[in-house]
């Protein structure tokens, strides 16, 4: 027993309309059926749906989060959304530094660290993503790249209650490919050691999620790896049945 409560988090990315609320209702109803999972359940829909879903999920076991935020609280930043606004909308957690943000929006470690600090400033949970590209994996640079991202992106004040790390190899996202269990374990062990250097005694309680092509068929094997404290799920989180099937690993 690690004492860490696992998290199964769904990242809906740029998917979902108001009509998708049926999936949220189905997840809530599934969570209330059978033995309670020994894991936290979180769905991060697009920002447009955070407030509506948070209302539907209030007083349920499902938490609602967001996928990104601006580093500042307010101001002249057209089109951006602050952590304070997402907290106000009912988000409990915010993903920062997803590889799609790092690649599509040129987000550096400094940007990610500033965003994560903004999340902590609102007393929300930051889910900080790290992960190597295919070229970096093939070049034998995985541990070095992930450690560098972690050192560069972890904000001051990160602790076991307010910070979650998500290891998502870029080449495993949306491809159906996953690293071997040995490779996942090697990276998660390194992340735990690196967190010990960065956050001292808090490291033992920090959750480290695996993400990248997690599905009902591979979840049990991936979640059984040492230092894997849950999953960050993309495609398979869009369907309540698949999300619940992944969560059922922890029933
Ligand atoms: P997939 O589960 O679709 O591979 O996406 C993973 C991911 O990027 C979650 O943040």
Gap from CA of 14 to ligand 1 centroid (Å):
12
Residue 38 in any domain: the answer is yes
Quick check: 1 pLDDT over 70?
A: no
pLDDT digits (tens, 9 = 90+) for 150-177: 999 999 999 999 999 999 999 999 999 9
211 close to ligand 1 (CB < 6 Angstrom): yes
Residue at 172 is within a domain: yes
What is the spatial distance between Cα 145 and Cα 162, in angstroms, rounded to a whole number?
24
Tell me the pLDDT tens digit for each residue of 78-125. Answer: 999 999 999 999 999 999 999 999 999 999 999 999 999 999 999 999
In this prediction, residue 87 carries a pLDDT of 98
Residues in contact with 207: Cβ distance below 8 Å, sequence separation at least 6, in sequence order: 4, 5, 6, 7, 160, 164, 165, 229, 230
Instruction: Establish whether 188 is a catalytic residue.
Output: no
1 in a domain, yes or no?
A: no
pTM: 0.98
| Residue identifier of the C-alpha nearest atom 1 of ligand 1 | 234
Domain CATH for 148: 3.20.20.70
Check if the beta carbon of residue 145 is closer than 8 Å to that of residue 136: yes
- Supply the range of the domain harboring residue 142: 7-14+21-250
Pocket flag, ligand 1, residue 20 (CB < 6 Å): no
What total of structural domains would you count in the chain? 1
Ligand 1 binding pocket includes 65 (Cβ within 6 Å): no
49 assigned to some structural domain: yes
- DSSP assignment of 149-187, as one string? HHHHHPPTT--TTTEEEEE--GGGTTTS----HHHHHHH
Q: Which of 40, 98, 122, 136 is catalytic?
A: 98
Cα–Cα distance for residue pair 205/167, rounded to 1 Å: 16
Measured CA to CA, the distance from residue 146 to residue 116 in angstroms comes to 17
Which of helix, strand or coil describes residue 78? coil
Determine the pLDDT at residue 59.
93
- Phi then psi for residue 65, to 5 deg, are -130, -170
pLDDT, one tens digit per residue, over 40-88 is 999 999 999 999 999 999 999 999 999 999 999 999 999 999 999 999 9
Q: How far apart are CA 62 and CA 9, in angstroms?
A: 10
Catalytic, 168? Answer: yes
Any atom of ligand 1 within 6 Å of the Cβ of 230: no
Best mutation site among 130, 174, 243 for ligand 1, i.e. most ligand atoms within 8 A of its Cβ?
174
Residue 2 lies in a domain: no
């Amino acid at each position: 027993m690690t004492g860490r409560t696992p998290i199964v988090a769904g990242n809906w990315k740029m998917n979902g309309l108001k009509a998708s609320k049926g999936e949220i209702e189905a997840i809530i109803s599934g969570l209330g059926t059978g033995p309670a999972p020994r894991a936290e359940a979180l769905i991060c829909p697009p920002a447009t749906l955070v407030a509506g879903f948070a209302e539907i999920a209030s007083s349920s076991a499902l938490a609602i989060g967001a996928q990104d935020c601006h580093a500042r609280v307010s101001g002249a930043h057209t089109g951006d959304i602050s952590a304070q606004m997402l907290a106000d909308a009912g988000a409990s957690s915010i993903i920062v530094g997803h590889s799609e943000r790092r690649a599509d929006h040129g987000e550096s470690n400094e940007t990610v660290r500033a965003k994560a600090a903004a999340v902590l400033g609102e007393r929300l949970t930051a889910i900080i993503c790290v992960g190597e590209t295919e070229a970096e994996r093939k070049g034998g640079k995985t541990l070095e790249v992930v450690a560098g991202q972690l050192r560069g992106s972890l904000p001051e004040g990160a602790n076991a209650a307010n910070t979650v790390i998500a290891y998502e190899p870029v080449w495993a996202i949306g491809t159906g490919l996953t690293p071997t269990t040995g490779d996942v374990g090697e990276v998660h062990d390194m992340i735990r050691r690196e967190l010990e250097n960065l956050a001292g005694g808090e490291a033992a309680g920090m959750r480290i999620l695996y993400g990248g092509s997690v599905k009902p068929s591979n979840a049990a094997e991936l979640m059984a790896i040492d230092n894997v404290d849950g999953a960050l799920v993309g495609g398979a989180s869009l369907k309540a049945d698949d999300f619940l099937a992944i969560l059922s690993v922890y029933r």
